[in-house]
Structure 1
């Protein structure tokens, strides 16, 4: 009977972990995957919002950073992963 009793003691712990996985961990992983894909798809001409709240147009794309024009003639370099949202995408170049 001790084997059944031990399982009954650990069952609530297992259920709590399963609920946490499906309600917290899995959605967060999905959100991170979507953000990574969005950041990798950035290209010149996209209008973006940074996590700091600056809105601008991507003027240059480099390995780990972007150059964003926030006003006419005012360009700022930001790390790619600080982009929070893409407001409008440019059409892909034909060729």
Structure 2
């Protein structure tokens, strides 16, 4: 009977050491999550927000759908812009669908 009691006593002493290693491992996983997932995504979101805020009339842009066009009108109250694809086609899209602002003359060079 004393054999089982000493084993139970030995297992009880090892438990606090396992708790510290578990907490240490969780801190390491949280740091990995922050530096490899959250921080880069927050940086991309901030850059895209700055891109949308700096769009001006006459800028040549690329949309998420792959359309190239020139900004004709910017509507501030509802976050939509009008894009001229060519002389005959003007479309309205939401500002958040803009992927990139292209250098001047890109549309003519294509």
Q: Using structure 2 for the length normalisation, give the TM-score.
A: 0.75
CA RMSD, Structure 1 to Structure 2 (Å):
1.4
SS in 2 for 1:59: strand
Q: Where does residue 92 of structure 1 map in the other structure?
A: none
Bigger RCO (CA 8 Å, 6+ sep): 1
Superposition pairs for residues 1-95 of structure 1, below 5 Å?
Answer: 2-63=15-76, 64-88=79-103
Query: How far did 1:61 drift?
Result: 0.7
Q: State which structure, 1 or 2, has the greater radius of gyration over its C-alpha atoms.
A: 2
- What is the deviation of 1:7? 1.4
Higher strand share: 1
Greater helix proportion: 2
Structure 2: any 5+ residue segments left out of the alignment?
1-12, 105-110
Question: What is the alpha-carbon distance in structure 1 between the residues aligned to residue 84 and residue 60 of structure 2?
Answer: 9
Gaps of 5+ in 1: 90-95
Q: Normalised by the size of structure 1, how large is the TM-score?
A: 0.86
- Post-superposition Cα deviations, 1:31-64, rounded to whole Å, max 9, x if no partner, equal 0000000001101000000000000000001121
